[in-house]
Amino acid sequence: MFEWLQNIADLITYNLLEIDKASKLGEALNFFIYDSVKILLLLVLIITLMGVINTYFPVERVQNFLSRNKLYGFEYFMASAFGVVTPFCSCSSVPLFIGFVKGGIPLGVTFSFLITSPLVNEVAIALFIGIFGLKITLIYVISGVILGMLSGMILDKFNLEPYLTPWIQDLLTKAKREEKKLATEHLSLKDRFPEIWHETTDILKGVVPYVLVGIAIGGLMHGYIPQGFFEEYLSREKWYAVPLSVLMAVPLYSNASGILPVMQVLVAKGIPIGTAIAFMMAVVGLSFPEAMLLKKVMTLKLIAVFFGVVTLNIIISGYLFNMIL
Amino acid sequence: MKTIKILGTGCPKCKKTIEIVKQVVAENNFDAEVIKVEEIEEIISFNILTTPAVVVDEEVKIKGKVPSKQEIIDAILN
């Protein structure tokens, strides 16, 4: 799919700049050119595509759907699947949470959406395709949906309503299920496109610097770190490798887009892919700043349970991936 | 005079929105007061799911994104 790009990268590094093909610098630079162009192209493509899909699934419509339909457990899957196509900025998580719960959507179903939405987002998908290919990306997306679904179901079993902050409980008892009017504008895709494009460039501006730094670091490691270097520390045989990498990932949230290109090199140099995917899930899905935002609506105990369940599920997925991939 | 409220919990997008709204008001000499609303209780009273949101005279005009200058002008005038 990207051979033409490899040819261009080769042309620039070896012919135009006349860097020795066997040199470490040449290898690093070649990797950087190839990877950054490929990933930028994919980012533009996937973010725009997701914007188009999102036109048909605005978050208000998702809320409407979930609060009106009781689907015998299927709503967990729906909430989780909606999470894939409905990205939201983490700063919206509190109003979103309140709006969902107030609309009569069960807490567990709301959690399913809240878990999958940041976990499987457009930037992560584009980076995964560019770095690990389509098959691994599909596995990431599908397992992300299942993970959100199961975590929501488990959390629901814990009967967590009493652990919401008092003012939210108050609000919930007062609010009879509100009648929601569908206030979403019905614009055609053609009308919406300038806006989608505007959003795409906005997201790009936010992530491109991190991605480029990530690829640059990846390029250097690619050229300078010997094959199999990490095998010794994070190989499949070490049972603690998965939980260790997941725990390491939690504080790294803001640089998710920069970490993936580095991961690619780590995998190439000996880290099992399952451990890498679990690490990425933890980076993208578990964010400390988000946890602190949720303090407005949840007691610390509830936040801890929420994060605990998701973390545990990510660790289990990591082991599963390592077994089957 | 119009009252423009920017709803948001203080994230980067919300700050950017406030900046742009203030610019638009200044550039066009609109007779409007710009208020930053960070209290979650007040934010959810507008029944929105996504922030930042722009509210003109208690009516939600824009939500869930950083608006362009033109969108803000439209929101204030209509």
What is the side-by-side order of every strand in the sheet holding B59-63?
Answer: B32-37, B2-7, B53-56, B59-63
Q: Output the pLDDT for position A236.
A: 64
- Given B9, B11, B27, B57, the catalytic residue: B11
Contact B54, B4 (CB under 8 A): yes
Lowest mean pLDDT among A112-126, A235-249, A306-320: A235-249
One pLDDT digit (tens) per residue for chain B, 78 residues: 889 999 988 777 888 899 999 999 999 999 999 999 988 888 888 888 888 899 999 889 988 888 888 889 988 887
Nearest CA-CA partner of B59 in B39, B31, B78, B38: B78
- How far apart (Å, rounded) are the C-alpha atoms in residues B68 and A221? 41
Could you identify the residue written with the tokens 């902050």? Answer: A165
| Cα dihedral across residues B3, B7, B9, B14: positive or negative | negative
Could you identify the residue written with the tokens 């949906």? Answer: A145
* Domain spans, chain A: 3-176+203-324
Domains located in chain B, CATH noted? 2-77 (3.40.30.10)
- How far apart (Å, rounded) are the C-alpha atoms in residues A27 and A222? 8
Secondary structure of chain A: what % helix, strand, coil (to 5)? Answer: 80, 0, 20
Nearest CA in chain A to B42: A95
Q: Output the pLDDT for position B22.
A: 93
A123 vs A5, A172, A290, CA distance in Å? Answer: 21, 35, 18
Nearest CA-CA partner of A264 in A24, A5, A36: A36
Judged by DSSP in three states, A13 sits in helix
- Calculate ∠ Cα A149-A128-A192, nearest 5°: 80
Q: Which two tokens stand for residue A317?
A: 């997925």
Judged by DSSP in three states, A141 sits in helix
Residues in chain B within 8 Å Cβ distance of A99: 44, 47-49
Active site residue B20: no
Q: Which two tokens stand for residue A54?
A: 């999102």
- How far apart (Å, rounded) are the C-alpha atoms in residues A38 and A61? 34
- Given B6, B14, B53, B72, the catalytic residue: B14
Q: Output the pLDDT for position A179.
A: 46
- A95 and B50: CB-CB below 8 Å? yes
Contact A266, A312 (CB under 8 A): no
Helices and strands, counts by H and E, chain A: 15, 0
Q: Output the pLDDT for position A235.
A: 65
Active site residue B73: no
Could you identify the residue written with the tokens 């457009």? Answer: A122
Categorize the per-residue pLDDT at A55 as very low, low, confident or very high, splitting at 50, 70 and 90: confident
- How far apart (Å, rounded) are the C-alpha atoms in residues A232 and B6? 53
Distance from CA of A272 to the nearest CA of B (A): 36
Residues in chain A within 8 Å Cβ distance of B70: none
Q: Output the pLDDT for position A109.
A: 92
Q: Output the pLDDT for position A233.
A: 62
A255 vs A154, A252, A262, CA distance in Å? Answer: 29, 6, 11
Nearest CA in chain B to A295: B40
Nearest CA in chain B to A297: B40
- A99 and B66: CB-CB below 8 Å? no
The residues that bridge with A21 in the sheet, in sequence order, are none
- Better pLDDT: A14 or A49: A49
Length of chain A equals 325
Query: What is the secondary structure of A174-236 as a DSSP string?
Result: H---PPPP-------HHHHHHHHHHHHHHHHHHHHHHHHHHHHHHHHHHHHSPTTTTHHHH-T
For the segment A93-148, what is each residue's pLDDT rounded down to a tens digit? 888 888 888 888 889 999 999 889 888 888 889 988 988 889 989 998 999 999 99
Q: Estimate the crossing angle of helix A74-85 against helix A24-56, to 10 degrees.
A: 120
- Better pLDDT: A226 or B1: B1
B40, B47, B64: residue with CB nearest A296: B40
For the segment A170-225, what is each residue's pLDDT rounded down to a tens digit? 877 766 544 444 445 556 777 778 888 888 888 888 888 888 888 888 778 777 76
When pLDDT is averaged across residues A304-320 and rounded to a whole number, the result is 91
- Better pLDDT: A282 or A247: A282
Interface residue of B39, B44, B46 to substitute, partner A, most A CBs within 10 Å = B44
ipTM score of complex: 0.79
- How far apart (Å, rounded) are the C-alpha atoms in residues A6 and A9? 5
Residues B57-76: b if buried by 16+ CB within 10 A, e if exposed = eeebbbbbbbbeeebbbebb
Q: Output the pLDDT for position A180.
A: 46
Interface residue of A92, A168, A198 to substitute, partner B, most B CBs within 10 Å = A92
Interface list for B 35-54 with A (CB within 8 A): 40-41, 43-44, 47-52
When pLDDT is averaged across residues A138-161 and rounded to a whole number, the result is 92
B11 part of contact set with chain A, CB < 8 Å? yes
Distance from CA of A50 to the nearest CA of B (A): 15
- How far apart (Å, rounded) are the C-alpha atoms in residues A15 and A26? 11
Q: Which two tokens stand for residue A27?
A: 């290898």
A59, A89, A198: residue with CB nearest B11: A89
